[in-house]
Structure 1
Amino acid sequence: MRELTKGSPAKVIMTFALPIIFGNLLQQLYNLADGKIVSTYVGTQAFAAVGATAVIANLIIGFVNGVTQGFGIPVSRCFGAGDYKNMRRYVAGSFIMTVAMTLILTVGALLGIEGLLRILDTPADIMEEALQYIRIIIMGTAFISLYNYSANILRAVGESRIPLLCLAVAVILNIFLDILFVHTFSMGLRGAAHATNIAQCIAGVLCMTYLLLKFRELVPKGQEWQVERRKYQEMTIFGISLGMMSCFVSIGTVIFQTAVNRLGTKIVTAHIAARRIEELTNVPMLCTGMAMTTYASQNLGAGEYDRIKKGIRQAFVIVLVQGVIFTTFCWIFGHPLIRWITSSNDTYILDTAYRYLTRNTSFYFVLGPLFVLRCSLQGLEHKVIPVASSILELVLKVVSTIWIVPVLGYTGVIYTEPIIWIFMTLMLIGGYVRALKQINEAEHIKSARNAKAENEKINVDNRL
Structure 2
Amino acid sequence: MDERSQMLANEKISKLLLKLSVPAMVGMLVQAFYNLVDTIFVGHAYGADSIQAIGGIAVAFPIQMVGMAVSLAIGIGGSSIISRRMGEREMKKANKTFSNLIFLSILSSLLITGAGISFIVPLLKLFGATETILPYSLEYLEVILYGTVLFSLAMVTNSIARSEGNAKVAMNSMMMAGGLNIILDPIFIFGFGMGIRGAAIATVLAQGIGVLYIARYFLSGKSTLRFHPADLKPDSKIIKEVLAIGASPFARNVSSSFMIIILNNLLAFYGGDIAIAIFGIISKLLMFTLMPMFGIIQGLQPIVGFNYGAKNFGRVRESVKLAIIITTGMSIAGFLVLYLFPEQLFGIFSGDHQLIVEGKNAVRIVVLATPLIGFQVVGGALYQALGKARPSLFLSMCRQVLFLIPLVLILPKYLELFGVWAAFPLADTLAFAVTLIMVIREFKVLAEEGENMRNDPMRNDPLAGN
TM-score between both structures, scaled by the size of structure 1: 0.90
Partner of 1:257: 264
Write the mapping of 1:152-167 to structure 2, written as runs, cut at 5 A. Answer: 152-167=159-174
Counterpart check, 1:376 vs 2:379: no
Q: Which piece of structure 1 moves more, 148-157 or 397-406?
A: 397-406
| CA distance in structure 2 between the partners assigned to 1:318 and 1:250 by the alignment | 28
Q: Does 1:299 align with 2:299?
A: no
1:350 and 2:356 are equivalent in the alignment:
yes
Partner of 2:44: 40
Q: What SS does the aligned partner of 2:224 have?
A: helix
Aligned pairs for 1:1-400 (under 5 A) are: 1=4, 3-43=7-47, 44=50, 45-221=52-228, 224-225=231-232, 228-262=235-269, 263-342=271-350, 344-346=351-353, 348-392=354-398, 393-400=400-407
Q: Structure 2 CA distance, aligned partners of 1:137 and 1:84?
A: 36
* Per-residue deviation, 1:306: 1.0
Per the TM alignment, residue 223 of structure 1 is displaced from its structure 2 partner at its CA by: 6.0
1:222–1:400 Cα change, 3 Å: closer
- Please say if residues 146 and 208 of structure 1, whose CA atoms lie closer than 8 Å, have aligned partners that are also in contact: no
Preserved contact between residue 293 and residue 379 of structure 1 (Cα < 8 Å): yes
Query: Structure 1 CA distance, aligned partners of 2:266 and 2:221?
Result: 48
Paired residue type of 2:390: V
**How many angstroms apart in 1 are the aligned matches of 2:256 and 2:395?**
9
Contact kept in structure 2, 1:290 and 1:372, CA below 8 Å: no
Q: Figure out how many residues of one structure are paired with residues of the other and give that number.
A: 452
Q: CA deviation at 1:452?
A: 9.4
Shift of 1:178: 1.6
Q: Give percent identity, aligned residues only.
A: 19
Instruction: For 2:114 and 2:232, locate their aligned partners in 1 and report how far apart those are by CA, in whole Å.
Output: 26
Paired with 2:64 and 2:232, the residues of 1 have a C-alpha distance of 32
- What's the CA shift for 1:239? 2.8
CA distance in structure 2 between the partners assigned to 1:220 and 1:340 by the alignment = 44
Q: 1:430 to 1:349 in 2, by over 3 A?
A: same
CA change 1:221–1:197 in 2 (3 A) is closer
Q: Relative to 1, partners in 2 of residues 1:226 and 1:446: Cα closer, same or farther, differing over 3 Å?
A: farther
Q: 1:453: Cα distance to partner?
A: 10
Residue equivalent to 1:403: 410
Amino acid at match of 2:198: G
* TM superposition score normalised by structure 2: 0.90
- The DSSP-based 3-state class of the residue aligned with 1:217 is coil
Q: Which whole-Å CA distance do the structure 2 matches of 1:322 and 1:379 have between them?
A: 21
Distance in structure 2 (CA, Å) of the matches to 1:453 and 1:278? 42
Q: Secondary structure at the match of 2:220?
A: helix
| 1:143-189 deviation line (CA, Å, top 9, x unaligned) | 01111121011011111111221222222221222211111111122
Provide the rounded CA distance (Å) in 2 between the counterparts of 1:411 and 1:187. Answer: 37
C-alpha separation in 1, matches of 2:451 and 2:74: 33
Alpha-carbon distance, 1:33 to partner: 1.4
Matched residue of 2:185: which SS? helix
Q: Secondary structure of the equivalent of 1:70?
A: helix
Alignment partners' CA distance in 1, 2:216 and 2:170: 11
Distance 1:240 1:345, change over 3 A: closer
After superposition, the C-alpha distances for 1:393-436 in whole angstroms (9 at most, x for unaligned) are 22433323433224323322222122212222222233324433
C-alpha separation in 2, matches of 1:453 and 1:364:
40
Change (3 A) 1:118 1:225: closer
Shift of 1:297: 0.7
Q: Could you tell me which residue of structure 2 aligns to residue 461 of structure 1? A: none
- The one-letter code matched in structure 1 to 2:95 is R
Deviation at 1:367? 0.5
Larger Rg over CA atoms: 1
Given the alignment, which residue of 393, 408, 415 partners 2:422? 415
